[in-house]
A = this chain, B = another copy of it.
Amino acid sequence: MDNFILKGDIVFSKSMTELEISESSFAVCENGICKGVFKTIPEKFSYFPVKDHTGCLIIPGLTDIHLHAPQFPFCGTGTDLELLEWLERCAFPEEEKYSDEAYAQKAYSAFVSEMIKSGITRACIFATVHTKATEMLMDMLDKTGLVTFVGKVSMDRNSPQSLTEKNTDDLKNMLCNIQGKYKNTFPIITPRFIPSCTDEMLDSLCEIRRSYSLPVQSHLSENPSEKELVSKLVPDSDFYGQAYDMHSLFGFEIKTGERFKTIMAHCVYSDDEEIKLMSKNGVIAAHCPASNINLRSGIAPVRKLLQSGVPVGLGSDIGAGHTLSPFRAVTDAVQVSKLYQRLKDHDARPLTFAEAFYLSTHAGGFFGNIGKFCDGYMFDALVLDDSASRPLYPMTAAERLERYAYLFTDNKGIKEKYVNGKAVYLQNSV
């Protein structure tokens, strides 16, 4: 049933700063595409079935553009560790387990089941270096109906032996294997980050990217010592992002002039030059506030990125971030922006709730036309039952959404979830 109408209190971002609110209204979906929001159902859609969610909030799906699926099992532990100790004691030992297909099956099942119940409709995901486990994750995710990009991680230096590879042959084989296989899940070129990739690997990834027309995801300027390491490893680069750009992995293909979608996670220490190139190349910053706190990285200059024309989306960065809740990512983004202003730059106006909500629902443009219930947009939607917050007096739908985001961080109240007009989650059928 791809033609239907949702009735409820509809909220979405009219612009980056303003919410459009239509209480007790109808959002129309035709063949997976939104036809708009109406106070009364237009004649031509009158035969569409109406799902009546009167009293519930209806909002666009939220997104998560940076997370590590294999790190899901240890979320919320190891929070006292710093980055390097954390990598050695939590992240790498866990990722090594995915060479075991039985373990991968069990762990990825738990992850996918949590993804279905969450407020996330679309995501960009790091897997591990292991191709079999990565394909298994893609198989599982494709079936959910969520739109996902999954990267087999590429890394060939400065990492545990068991997680490095000699070349990109495995990746090439995998991409060949899965061609045309999935409807909702897609591959993405995923160098772990500059410190763990040689020039040869980066050049090879660039070629693969070009021949398959794939997007790219990686990490950028997460913390000061990482940034320093990159400047030592790539002495020719003026800034971290240039080390990707030299290999045409930073939103722009030098040889052909082609532009392609690239997500760079963190950008906490991106300087003016780096920000300028991101803006020029359309590189999307994945802002991961919880992870940046937990690993003591700091706070990304989101206001500056936005003002410089860099598209920004939000990421949970599971497992350095501790929760998949995209609502928590929204409120964390607001909260850290307040501390950034107070402690770092008095001129950096904090993000409003509406702005952070926009970042999550629009994902920096990575997924195309999403985030609005406007004619022609893809119909991704969440139906939220916020009645458990029991307000004592009438609140506007915008206040209720703000309250929901701050108070319901545990999937509570997520009643239905749609992606491209297909039901991905229906509470009562679970």
A residues adjacent to B (C-beta < 8 A): 73, 75-77, 79-80, 103, 106-107, 110, 293-294, 296-299, 322-323, 331, 334-336, 338-339, 341-344, 350, 352-353, 389-393, 395, 399, 402-410, 412
Having A79-B334, A80-B353, A296-B338, one finds 17 other A-B pairs with CB under 8 Å, namely A75-B403, A75-B407, A76-B389, A76-B405, A77-B399, A79-B331, A80-B334, A80-B352, A103-B392, A293-B339, A298-B342, A322-B331, A322-B407, A336-B339, A407-B410, A409-B410, A410-B412
What are 11 pairs between A and B in contact, CB < 8 Å?
A73-B393, A75-B407, A76-B406, A77-B402, A79-B353, A79-B402, A80-B334, A80-B353, A106-B392, A293-B338, A410-B410
* CB proximity of A221 to chain B, nearest CB, Å: 14
Please, which residue of chain B has its CB at the minimum distance from the CB of A393?
Answer: B73
Question: CA–CA, A412 to B408, complex, Å?
Answer: 11
Minimum-distance CB pairs A-B, first 3: A76-B406, A76-B403, A343-B343
Q: Is the CB of B335 within 8 A of A391?
A: no
Q: Which residues of B contact A338 (CB under 8 A)?
A: 293-294, 296
Question: CA–CA, A10 to B350, complex, Å?
Answer: 42
Q: Which residues of B contact A390 (CB under 8 A)?
A: 110
* CB proximity of A299 to chain B, nearest CB, Å: 7
A103, A339, A405 pick with most chain B CB within 10 angstroms: A339
Identical copies in the complex: 2
* CB proximity of A86 to chain B, nearest CB, Å: 12
A76, A350, A407 pick with most chain B CB within 10 angstroms: A76
Q: Which residues of B contact A391 (CB under 8 A)?
A: 73
Q: Which residues of B contact A405 (CB under 8 A)?
A: 76
A322, A335, A410 pick with most chain B CB within 10 angstroms: A335
Question: CA–CA, A79 to B338, complex, Å?
Answer: 11
Q: Which residues of B contact A296 (CB under 8 A)?
A: 338-339, 341-342, 350
Within 8 Å by CB of A298, from B322, B339, B395, B406, lies B339
Q: Which residues of B contact A409 (CB under 8 A)?
A: 409-410
* CB proximity of A327 to chain B, nearest CB, Å: 11
Within 8 Å by CB of A343, from B103, B323, B339, B399, lies B339
Question: CA–CA, A412 to B344, complex, Å?
Answer: 36
Q: Is the CB of B406 within 8 A of A79?
A: yes
Q: Is the CB of A402 within 8 A of B76?
A: yes
Q: Is the CB of A343 within 8 A of B341?
A: no
Question: CA–CA, A227 to B76, complex, Å?
Answer: 37
Q: Evaluate whether A408 and B410 lie within 8 angstroms (CB atoms) in the complex, with A296-B350, A339-B343, A343-B299 already known.
A: yes
Within 8 Å by CB of A75, from B73, B107, B331, B406, lies B406
